Amino acid sequence: MKIRILLANDHAIIREGLRSLIERQADMEVVAETENGRSALQLARKLTPDVVLMDISMPGLNGIEATRQIVEGVPGARVIVLSMHSDKRFVAETLKAGASRYLLKDCAFEELASAIRSVMESGPYPRTRIGKTVIGKHAHPLKQDEHTVIAVLTPRERDVLQLMAEGKTTRNIASLLHVSVKTVETHRQHIMAKLDIHSIAELTKYAIREGLTSL
Amino acid sequence: MKIRILLANDHAIIREGLRSLIERQADMEVVAETENGRSALQLARKLTPDVVLMDISMPGLNGIEATRQIVEGVPGARVIVLSMHSDKRFVAETLKAGASRYLLKDCAFEELASAIRSVMESGPYPRTRIGKTVIGKHAHPLKQDEHTVIAVLTPRERDVLQLMAEGKTTRNIASLLHVSVKTVETHRQHIMAKLDIHSIAELTKYAIREGLTSL
DNA sequence: CGGAAGATCGGGTTATCCCCGATTGTTTCC
DNA sequence: GGAAACAATCGGGGATAACCCGATCTTCCG
Protein backbone atom coordinates (compact mmCIF):
# COMPACT_ATOMS: atom_id res chain seq x y z
CA MET A 1 0.00 0.00 0.00
CA LYS A 2 1.48 3.29 -1.07
CA ILE A 3 1.67 6.33 1.16
CA ARG A 4 -1.14 8.58 -0.01
CA ILE A 5 -0.10 12.21 -0.19
CA LEU A 6 -2.04 15.45 -0.57
CA LEU A 7 -0.16 18.46 -1.93
CA ALA A 8 -1.15 21.93 -0.76
CA ASN A 9 0.93 24.73 -2.22
CA ASP A 10 -0.08 27.92 -3.91
CA HIS A 11 2.49 27.75 -6.71
CA ALA A 12 1.47 25.42 -9.50
CA ILE A 13 4.95 24.81 -10.78
CA ILE A 14 6.18 23.85 -7.34
CA ARG A 15 3.30 21.45 -6.89
CA GLU A 16 4.16 19.88 -10.23
CA GLY A 17 7.80 19.63 -9.26
CA LEU A 18 6.99 17.96 -5.97
CA ARG A 19 4.56 15.61 -7.65
CA SER A 20 7.17 14.64 -10.17
CA LEU A 21 9.69 13.91 -7.43
CA ILE A 22 7.24 12.01 -5.26
CA GLU A 23 6.05 9.84 -8.10
CA ARG A 24 9.55 8.57 -8.53
CA GLN A 25 9.26 6.99 -5.11
CA ALA A 26 7.83 3.51 -5.38
CA ASP A 27 6.07 3.70 -2.03
CA MET A 28 4.34 7.05 -2.46
CA GLU A 29 1.61 8.55 -4.56
CA VAL A 30 -0.03 11.94 -4.87
CA VAL A 31 -3.77 11.59 -4.45
CA ALA A 32 -4.61 15.24 -5.00
CA GLU A 33 -3.17 18.71 -5.08
CA THR A 34 -4.57 22.12 -4.32
CA GLU A 35 -3.55 25.72 -4.21
CA ASN A 36 -5.32 26.92 -1.09
CA GLY A 37 -5.84 25.96 2.51
CA ARG A 38 -9.59 25.72 2.43
CA SER A 39 -9.78 23.15 -0.33
CA ALA A 40 -6.87 21.34 1.29
CA LEU A 41 -9.10 20.81 4.28
CA GLN A 42 -12.00 19.65 2.12
CA LEU A 43 -9.83 17.31 0.08
CA ALA A 44 -8.27 15.89 3.22
CA ARG A 45 -11.69 15.17 4.66
CA LYS A 46 -12.79 13.50 1.45
CA LEU A 47 -9.68 11.52 0.59
CA THR A 48 -8.20 10.88 4.07
CA PRO A 49 -4.59 11.00 2.85
CA ASP A 50 -1.79 9.64 4.98
CA VAL A 51 0.30 12.77 4.65
CA VAL A 52 -0.54 16.36 3.79
CA LEU A 53 2.38 18.34 2.41
CA MET A 54 1.50 21.86 3.37
CA ASP A 55 2.86 25.27 2.48
CA ILE A 56 2.53 28.08 5.02
CA SER A 57 1.67 30.96 2.76
CA MET A 58 -1.51 30.23 0.86
CA PRO A 59 -4.44 32.39 -0.10
CA GLY A 60 -7.62 32.04 1.89
CA LEU A 61 -6.94 29.73 4.77
CA ASN A 62 -3.23 29.85 5.57
CA GLY A 63 -1.13 26.77 6.12
CA ILE A 64 -1.03 26.97 9.89
CA GLU A 65 -4.77 27.31 10.30
CA ALA A 66 -5.38 24.63 7.68
CA THR A 67 -3.00 22.36 9.58
CA ARG A 68 -4.89 22.92 12.80
CA GLN A 69 -8.20 22.01 11.23
CA ILE A 70 -6.88 18.99 9.34
CA VAL A 71 -5.18 17.53 12.40
CA GLU A 72 -8.39 17.98 14.38
CA GLY A 73 -10.82 16.90 11.72
CA VAL A 74 -9.11 14.19 9.70
CA PRO A 75 -8.16 11.13 11.75
CA GLY A 76 -4.93 9.54 10.67
CA ALA A 77 -3.68 12.44 8.61
CA ARG A 78 -0.19 13.73 9.41
CA VAL A 79 0.78 17.18 8.24
CA ILE A 80 4.28 18.05 7.09
CA VAL A 81 4.82 21.74 6.61
CA LEU A 82 7.21 22.89 3.92
CA SER A 83 8.12 26.51 4.44
CA MET A 84 10.60 29.08 3.31
CA HIS A 85 10.61 30.76 6.71
CA SER A 86 13.17 29.67 9.25
CA ASP A 87 11.67 31.96 11.85
CA LYS A 88 11.33 30.21 15.16
CA ARG A 89 7.90 31.55 15.83
CA PHE A 90 6.61 30.12 12.57
CA VAL A 91 8.02 26.78 13.58
CA ALA A 92 6.51 26.98 17.05
CA GLU A 93 3.11 28.02 15.71
CA THR A 94 3.13 25.27 13.15
CA LEU A 95 3.99 22.56 15.61
CA LYS A 96 1.47 23.86 18.09
CA ALA A 97 -1.09 23.57 15.32
CA GLY A 98 -0.32 19.87 15.20
CA ALA A 99 2.10 19.49 12.31
CA SER A 100 4.35 16.46 12.51
CA ARG A 101 7.33 18.04 10.82
CA TYR A 102 8.54 21.45 9.76
CA LEU A 103 10.93 21.43 6.81
CA LEU A 104 12.58 24.31 5.01
CA LYS A 105 12.36 24.64 1.26
CA ASP A 106 16.07 24.58 0.94
CA CYS A 107 16.22 21.04 2.23
CA ALA A 108 16.92 18.28 -0.25
CA PHE A 109 14.06 16.15 -1.51
CA GLU A 110 15.68 13.15 0.09
CA GLU A 111 15.12 14.75 3.47
CA LEU A 112 11.49 15.27 2.66
CA ALA A 113 11.07 11.70 1.52
CA SER A 114 12.57 10.30 4.68
CA ALA A 115 10.46 12.68 6.75
CA ILE A 116 7.36 11.31 5.04
CA ARG A 117 8.37 7.73 5.76
CA SER A 118 9.31 8.65 9.29
CA VAL A 119 5.96 10.17 10.18
CA MET A 120 4.28 7.09 8.74
CA GLU A 121 6.16 4.85 11.11
CA SER A 122 5.10 6.78 14.14
CA GLY A 123 1.41 6.55 14.83
CA PRO A 124 -1.18 8.81 13.28
CA TYR A 125 -0.99 11.06 16.32
CA PRO A 126 2.61 11.55 17.19
CA ARG A 127 1.80 14.77 18.89
CA THR A 128 3.03 13.73 22.28
CA ARG A 129 6.63 13.78 21.24
CA ILE A 130 6.44 16.38 18.53
CA GLY A 131 8.54 18.73 20.52
CA LYS A 132 11.55 16.53 20.75
CA THR A 133 11.11 14.85 17.40
CA VAL A 134 10.72 17.92 15.33
CA ILE A 135 13.01 20.26 17.09
CA GLY A 136 15.62 17.60 16.66
CA LYS A 137 14.64 17.08 13.05
CA HIS A 138 15.19 20.57 11.85
CA ALA A 139 18.30 21.08 13.89
CA HIS A 140 20.43 21.34 10.78
CA PRO A 141 18.34 23.55 8.52
CA LEU A 142 18.01 25.97 11.38
CA LYS A 143 21.78 26.00 11.59
CA GLN A 144 22.56 24.73 15.04
CA ASP A 145 20.60 26.68 17.50
CA GLU A 146 21.11 23.96 20.01
CA HIS A 147 22.88 26.57 22.01
CA THR A 148 20.31 29.26 22.28
CA VAL A 149 21.24 32.72 23.41
CA ILE A 150 20.54 31.87 27.00
CA ALA A 151 22.94 28.99 27.03
CA VAL A 152 25.84 30.68 25.34
CA LEU A 153 25.65 34.36 26.07
CA THR A 154 25.91 35.90 29.48
CA PRO A 155 23.10 38.14 30.71
CA ARG A 156 25.15 41.23 30.05
CA GLU A 157 25.99 40.08 26.56
CA ARG A 158 22.33 39.52 25.85
CA ASP A 159 21.60 43.06 26.99
CA VAL A 160 24.17 44.37 24.58
CA LEU A 161 23.02 42.17 21.71
CA GLN A 162 19.44 43.26 22.15
CA LEU A 163 20.36 46.93 22.09
CA MET A 164 22.57 46.39 19.08
CA ALA A 165 19.73 44.67 17.26
CA GLU A 166 17.54 47.63 18.06
CA GLY A 167 19.87 49.86 16.12
CA LYS A 168 21.58 51.53 19.04
CA THR A 169 25.15 52.69 18.57
CA THR A 170 27.94 51.49 20.78
CA ARG A 171 28.12 54.85 22.49
CA ASN A 172 24.40 54.81 23.01
CA ILE A 173 24.49 51.37 24.56
CA ALA A 174 27.34 52.38 26.82
CA SER A 175 25.39 55.28 28.27
CA LEU A 176 22.26 53.18 28.60
CA LEU A 177 24.14 50.54 30.55
CA HIS A 178 26.26 53.12 32.43
CA VAL A 179 29.54 51.63 31.33
CA SER A 180 32.31 52.79 29.05
CA VAL A 181 32.30 52.39 25.30
CA LYS A 182 35.22 50.04 25.61
CA THR A 183 33.22 47.68 27.75
CA VAL A 184 30.44 47.51 25.24
CA GLU A 185 32.95 46.88 22.50
CA THR A 186 34.41 44.00 24.45
CA HIS A 187 30.98 42.51 25.00
CA ARG A 188 30.27 42.80 21.31
CA GLN A 189 33.51 41.06 20.46
CA HIS A 190 32.71 38.26 22.86
CA ILE A 191 29.24 37.91 21.35
CA MET A 192 30.64 37.76 17.84
CA ALA A 193 33.30 35.26 18.84
CA LYS A 194 30.84 33.00 20.64
CA LEU A 195 28.26 33.02 17.88
CA ASP A 196 30.81 33.15 15.09
CA ILE A 197 28.86 36.00 13.55
CA HIS A 198 30.82 39.02 12.48
CA SER A 199 28.40 41.57 11.16
CA ILE A 200 25.70 43.72 12.67
CA ALA A 201 23.27 42.51 10.03
CA GLU A 202 23.67 38.84 10.83
CA LEU A 203 23.66 39.57 14.54
CA THR A 204 20.38 41.39 14.09
CA LYS A 205 18.89 38.43 12.31
CA TYR A 206 20.13 36.15 15.07
CA ALA A 207 18.56 38.38 17.70
CA ILE A 208 15.28 38.36 15.83
CA ARG A 209 15.31 34.59 15.56
CA GLU A 210 16.04 34.33 19.25
CA GLY A 211 13.28 36.72 20.14
CA LEU A 212 15.54 39.38 21.59
CA THR A 213 14.05 41.96 19.29
CA SER A 214 11.30 42.14 16.71
CA LEU A 215 11.04 43.27 13.15
CA MET B 1 20.66 18.85 -29.82
CA LYS B 2 18.93 19.37 -26.53
CA ILE B 3 18.23 22.76 -25.02
CA ARG B 4 20.86 23.20 -22.33
CA ILE B 5 19.43 24.71 -19.16
CA LEU B 6 21.02 26.21 -16.05
CA LEU B 7 18.91 26.28 -12.88
CA ALA B 8 19.40 29.12 -10.40
CA ASN B 9 17.14 28.97 -7.36
CA ASP B 10 17.93 29.21 -3.70
CA HIS B 11 15.62 26.41 -2.58
CA ALA B 12 17.09 22.97 -3.12
CA ILE B 13 13.79 21.17 -3.24
CA ILE B 14 12.43 23.52 -5.88
CA ARG B 15 15.52 23.04 -7.99
CA GLU B 16 15.10 19.29 -7.72
CA GLY B 17 11.46 19.57 -8.68
CA LEU B 18 12.22 21.69 -11.72
CA ARG B 19 15.02 19.40 -12.75
CA SER B 20 12.74 16.42 -12.48
CA LEU B 21 10.12 18.10 -14.64
CA ILE B 22 12.61 19.34 -17.21
CA GLU B 23 14.26 15.97 -17.58
CA ARG B 24 10.96 14.52 -18.69
CA GLN B 25 11.15 16.73 -21.75
CA ALA B 26 12.95 14.96 -24.55
CA ASP B 27 14.42 18.17 -25.95
CA MET B 28 15.80 19.66 -22.74
CA GLU B 29 18.50 18.92 -20.24
CA VAL B 30 19.77 20.55 -17.04
CA VAL B 31 23.47 21.21 -17.33
CA ALA B 32 23.93 22.65 -13.86
CA GLU B 33 22.12 24.10 -10.90
CA THR B 34 23.07 26.60 -8.24
CA GLU B 35 21.62 28.35 -5.25
CA ASN B 36 23.00 31.85 -5.68
CA GLY B 37 23.30 34.54 -8.28
CA ARG B 38 27.02 34.83 -8.28
CA SER B 39 27.77 31.24 -9.06
CA ALA B 40 24.98 31.36 -11.62
CA LEU B 41 26.99 33.98 -13.44
CA GLN B 42 30.16 31.94 -13.17
CA LEU B 43 28.46 28.75 -14.31
CA ALA B 44 26.80 30.56 -17.19
CA ARG B 45 30.17 31.88 -18.33
CA LYS B 46 31.71 28.44 -18.10
CA LEU B 47 28.94 26.31 -19.55
CA THR B 48 27.26 28.80 -21.93
CA PRO B 49 23.78 27.32 -21.46
CA ASP B 50 20.98 28.12 -23.88
CA VAL B 51 18.58 29.11 -21.12
CA VAL B 52 19.10 30.24 -17.54
CA LEU B 53 16.09 29.65 -15.32
CA MET B 54 16.49 32.31 -12.70
CA ASP B 55 14.83 33.05 -9.39
CA ILE B 56 14.66 36.64 -8.20
CA SER B 57 15.37 36.26 -4.53
CA MET B 58 18.73 34.67 -4.01
CA PRO B 59 21.49 35.30 -1.51
CA GLY B 60 24.48 37.29 -2.61
CA LEU B 61 23.78 38.55 -6.08
CA ASN B 62 20.04 38.73 -6.59
CA GLY B 63 18.32 37.44 -9.68
CA ILE B 64 17.90 40.78 -11.40
CA GLU B 65 21.51 41.78 -11.10
CA ALA B 66 22.63 38.28 -12.04
CA THR B 67 20.40 38.49 -15.11
CA ARG B 68 21.93 41.80 -16.11
CA GLN B 69 25.43 40.41 -15.91
CA ILE B 70 24.63 37.15 -17.65
CA VAL B 71 22.87 38.87 -20.54
CA GLU B 72 25.81 41.19 -20.94
CA GLY B 73 28.54 38.67 -20.42
CA VAL B 74 27.33 35.39 -21.86
CA PRO B 75 26.56 35.57 -25.59
CA GLY B 76 23.63 33.44 -26.62
CA ALA B 77 22.26 32.87 -23.16
CA ARG B 78 18.60 33.73 -22.63
CA VAL B 79 17.36 34.30 -19.13
CA ILE B 80 13.88 33.30 -18.02
CA VAL B 81 12.96 34.65 -14.63
CA LEU B 82 10.70 32.59 -12.42
CA SER B 83 9.38 34.70 -9.59
CA MET B 84 6.74 34.73 -6.93
CA HIS B 85 6.41 38.51 -7.12
CA SER B 86 3.75 39.87 -9.38
CA ASP B 87 4.73 43.44 -8.71
CA LYS B 88 4.93 45.54 -11.84
CA ARG B 89 8.22 47.11 -10.99
CA PHE B 90 9.87 43.77 -10.44
CA VAL B 91 8.73 42.77 -13.89
CA ALA B 92 9.92 46.00 -15.44
CA GLU B 93 13.28 45.80 -13.72
CA THR B 94 13.76 42.23 -14.74
CA LEU B 95 13.01 42.86 -18.37
CA LYS B 96 15.16 45.94 -18.40
CA ALA B 97 17.94 43.77 -17.06
CA GLY B 98 17.61 41.75 -20.22
CA ALA B 99 15.49 38.77 -19.26
CA SER B 100 13.59 37.16 -22.12
CA ARG B 101 10.58 36.14 -20.08
CA TYR B 102 9.09 36.77 -16.66
CA LEU B 103 6.96 33.93 -15.35
CA LEU B 104 5.17 33.59 -12.06
CA LYS B 105 5.62 30.53 -9.91
CA ASP B 106 1.96 29.78 -10.07
CA CYS B 107 2.13 29.16 -13.79
CA ALA B 108 1.93 25.58 -14.97
CA PHE B 109 5.08 23.77 -16.00
CA GLU B 110 3.68 23.48 -19.48
CA GLU B 111 3.79 27.26 -19.77
CA LEU B 112 7.39 27.24 -18.66
CA ALA B 113 8.30 24.53 -21.14
CA SER B 114 6.73 26.40 -24.02
CA ALA B 115 8.38 29.61 -22.88
CA ILE B 116 11.73 27.83 -23.02
CA ARG B 117 11.08 26.58 -26.53
CA SER B 118 9.79 29.97 -27.54
CA VAL B 119 12.87 31.88 -26.49
CA MET B 120 14.96 29.33 -28.31
CA GLU B 121 13.15 30.00 -31.55
CA SER B 122 13.61 33.70 -31.38
CA GLY B 123 17.22 34.76 -31.60
CA PRO B 124 19.48 34.95 -28.64
CA TYR B 125 18.47 38.56 -28.15
CA PRO B 126 14.71 38.83 -28.54
CA ARG B 127 14.56 41.81 -26.32
CA THR B 128 12.56 43.91 -28.71
CA ARG B 129 9.21 42.32 -28.07
CA ILE B 130 9.65 41.24 -24.51
CA GLY B 131 7.36 43.89 -23.21
CA LYS B 132 4.21 42.77 -24.88
CA THR B 133 4.75 39.09 -24.50
CA VAL B 134 5.44 39.01 -20.86
CA ILE B 135 3.25 41.76 -19.59
CA GLY B 136 0.41 39.92 -21.25
CA LYS B 137 1.39 36.72 -19.55
CA HIS B 138 0.91 37.74 -15.97
CA ALA B 139 -1.77 40.30 -16.54
CA HIS B 140 -4.02 39.06 -13.78
CA PRO B 141 -2.27 39.55 -10.48
CA LEU B 142 -0.75 42.99 -10.70
CA LYS B 143 -0.78 44.98 -7.58
CA GLN B 144 0.83 48.23 -6.67
CA ASP B 145 2.84 48.33 -3.55
CA GLU B 146 3.69 51.96 -3.37
CA HIS B 147 5.43 51.69 -0.05
CA THR B 148 7.91 49.03 -0.99
CA VAL B 149 11.56 49.35 -1.66
CA ILE B 150 10.88 49.48 -5.33
CA ALA B 151 9.07 52.75 -5.12
CA VAL B 152 11.79 54.45 -3.18
CA LEU B 153 15.11 52.83 -3.91
CA THR B 154 16.83 52.48 -7.24
CA PRO B 155 17.81 49.00 -8.46
CA ARG B 156 21.41 49.54 -7.57
CA GLU B 157 20.51 50.78 -4.14
CA ARG B 158 18.47 47.65 -3.59
CA ASP B 159 21.45 45.54 -4.56
CA VAL B 160 23.55 47.33 -2.00
CA LEU B 161 20.89 47.15 0.68
CA GLN B 162 20.47 43.43 0.14
CA LEU B 163 24.18 42.79 0.48
CA MET B 164 24.37 45.00 3.54
CA ALA B 165 21.51 43.08 5.10
CA GLU B 166 23.39 39.89 4.40
CA GLY B 167 26.24 41.09 6.54
CA LYS B 168 28.69 42.03 3.81
CA THR B 169 31.16 44.80 4.49
CA THR B 170 31.39 47.87 2.33
CA ARG B 171 34.62 46.64 0.81
CA ASN B 172 33.09 43.27 0.18
CA ILE B 173 30.07 44.75 -1.53
CA ALA B 174 32.28 46.92 -3.68
CA SER B 175 34.21 43.96 -5.00
CA LEU B 176 31.05 41.93 -5.47
CA LEU B 177 29.48 44.66 -7.56
CA HIS B 178 32.74 45.54 -9.30
CA VAL B 179 32.68 49.15 -8.21
CA SER B 180 34.76 51.23 -5.85
CA VAL B 181 34.23 51.44 -2.12
CA LYS B 182 33.27 55.07 -2.54
CA THR B 183 30.41 54.18 -4.82
CA VAL B 184 29.01 51.73 -2.35
CA GLU B 185 29.32 54.33 0.39
CA THR B 186 27.38 56.81 -1.71
CA HIS B 187 24.65 54.28 -2.35
CA ARG B 188 24.47 53.50 1.35
CA GLN B 189 24.13 57.16 2.22
CA HIS B 190 21.37 57.57 -0.31
CA ILE B 191 19.58 54.54 1.08
CA MET B 192 19.82 55.81 4.62
CA ALA B 193 18.69 59.27 3.62
CA LYS B 194 15.74 58.00 1.61
CA LEU B 195 14.56 55.58 4.27
CA ASP B 196 15.56 57.77 7.20
CA ILE B 197 17.16 54.75 8.80
CA HIS B 198 20.63 55.18 10.16
CA SER B 199 21.73 51.87 11.56
CA ILE B 200 22.66 48.58 9.99
CA ALA B 201 20.36 46.78 12.40
CA GLU B 202 17.26 48.73 11.40
CA LEU B 203 18.24 48.54 7.75
CA THR B 204 18.49 44.80 8.07
CA LYS B 205 15.04 44.60 9.58
CA TYR B 206 13.72 46.78 6.80
CA ALA B 207 15.31 44.54 4.20
CA ILE B 208 13.77 41.49 5.84
CA ARG B 209 10.33 43.08 5.90
CA GLU B 210 10.70 44.01 2.26
CA GLY B 211 11.80 40.54 1.29
CA LEU B 212 15.28 41.54 0.15
CA THR B 213 16.84 39.06 2.53
CA SER B 214 15.67 36.35 4.86
CA LEU B 215 16.29 35.50 8.47
C1' DC C 1 43.12 28.20 47.89
C1' DG C 2 43.18 28.30 42.95
C1' DG C 3 41.17 28.90 38.85
C1' DA C 4 37.54 29.78 35.73
C1' DA C 5 34.34 33.08 34.14
C1' DG C 6 32.18 37.46 33.97
C1' DA C 7 32.44 42.45 33.72
C1' DT C 8 35.12 46.22 33.35
C1' DC C 9 38.54 49.30 30.76
C1' DG C 10 42.76 51.05 27.73
C1' DG C 11 46.14 51.60 23.51
C1' DG C 12 46.99 51.42 18.91
C1' DT C 13 45.71 50.06 14.18
C1' DT C 14 42.43 49.74 10.70
C1' DA C 15 38.24 50.45 8.61
C1' DT C 16 34.08 52.95 8.18
C1' DC C 17 31.20 57.01 8.30
C1' DC C 18 29.96 61.47 6.57
C1' DC C 19 30.48 65.81 4.68
C1' DC C 20 31.83 67.90 0.45
C1' DG C 21 32.17 67.92 -4.81
C1' DA C 22 32.44 65.98 -9.74
C1' DT C 23 31.55 63.35 -14.05
C1' DT C 24 28.86 60.64 -17.24
C1' DG C 25 24.76 58.72 -19.13
C1' DT C 26 19.80 58.15 -19.16
C1' DT C 27 14.94 59.61 -18.49
C1' DT C 28 11.63 62.86 -18.29
C1' DC C 29 9.22 66.72 -19.27
C1' DC C 30 7.81 71.18 -21.15
C1' DG D 1 15.03 69.49 -28.78
C1' DG D 2 16.98 71.17 -24.96
C1' DA D 3 16.64 71.69 -19.87
C1' DA D 4 16.19 69.37 -15.74
C1' DA D 5 16.16 65.57 -12.85
C1' DC D 6 17.83 61.27 -11.70
C1' DA D 7 21.05 57.39 -11.54
C1' DA D 8 25.57 55.51 -11.13
C1' DT D 9 30.13 56.18 -10.72
C1' DC D 10 34.36 57.95 -8.12
C1' DG D 11 37.54 60.99 -5.04
C1' DG D 12 39.40 63.89 -0.66
C1' DG D 13 39.73 64.45 4.03
C1' DG D 14 38.53 64.67 8.75
C1' DA D 15 35.73 62.57 12.40
C1' DT D 16 34.20 58.44 14.17
C1' DA D 17 33.75 53.84 15.17
C1' DA D 18 35.21 49.21 14.97
C1' DC D 19 38.77 45.79 15.66
C1' DC D 20 42.63 43.19 18.06
C1' DC D 21 45.70 42.94 21.65
C1' DG D 22 46.07 42.82 26.64
C1' DA D 23 44.87 43.95 31.59
C1' DT D 24 42.54 44.45 36.06
C1' DC D 25 38.96 43.22 39.46
C1' DT D 26 35.33 40.56 41.43
C1' DT D 27 32.69 36.46 42.17
C1' DC D 28 31.84 31.92 42.61
C1' DC D 29 32.74 27.22 43.20
C1' DG D 30 35.09 22.66 43.73
Q: Count residue pairs from A and B with Cβ separation < 8 A.
A: 123
Q: How far is B80 from chain A (nearest CA, A)?
A: 14
A209 or A4, higher pLDDT? A4
Q: Do A128 and A162 share a domain, yes or no?
A: no
Query: How high is the pLDDT of residue B138?
Result: 34
Residue ranges making up the domain that contains B23:
3-137
Query: How high is the pLDDT of residue B7?
Result: 95
Total structural domains in chain B?
Answer: 2
Query: How high is the pLDDT of residue B6?
Result: 95
Residue A16 lies in a domain: yes
How far, CA to CA in Å, does A95 sit from each of B26, B66, B170?
42, 37, 40
Nucleotide nearest to A179 (CA to C1'): C8
Query: How high is the pLDDT of residue A10?
Result: 83
Query: How high is the pLDDT of residue A88?
Result: 56
A74 or A63, higher pLDDT? A74
Share of chain A above pLDDT 90, in %: 19
Q: Do B163 and B131 share a domain, yes or no?
A: no
Last residue of a domain, one of B102, B137, B172: B137
Residue B191 lies in a domain: yes
Model confidence at B100, pLDDT cuts 50, 70, 90, reads confident
We report the CATH number of the domain holding residue A169 as: 1.10.10.10
3-class secondary-structure state, position A63? helix
Q: Do B123 and B155 share a domain, yes or no?
A: no
Q: Do A23 and A123 share a domain, yes or no?
A: yes
Q: Do A92 and A48 share a domain, yes or no?
A: yes
Residue B144 lies in a domain: no
Q: Do A121 and A154 share a domain, yes or no?
A: no
Residue A62 lies in a domain: yes
Among residues B61, B169, B165, B206, the alpha carbon closest in space to that of A201 is found at B165
- A105 and B35 in contact by Cβ < 8 A? no
Nucleotide nearest to A171 (CA to C1'): D17
Query: How high is the pLDDT of residue B82?
Result: 86
Q: CA–CA separation, A158 vs A156, rounded Å?
A: 5
Q: Is the pLDDT of residue B128 over 50?
A: no
Q: What is the pLDDT of residues A78-100, one digit of tens each?
A: 999 888 765 555 666 677 778 88
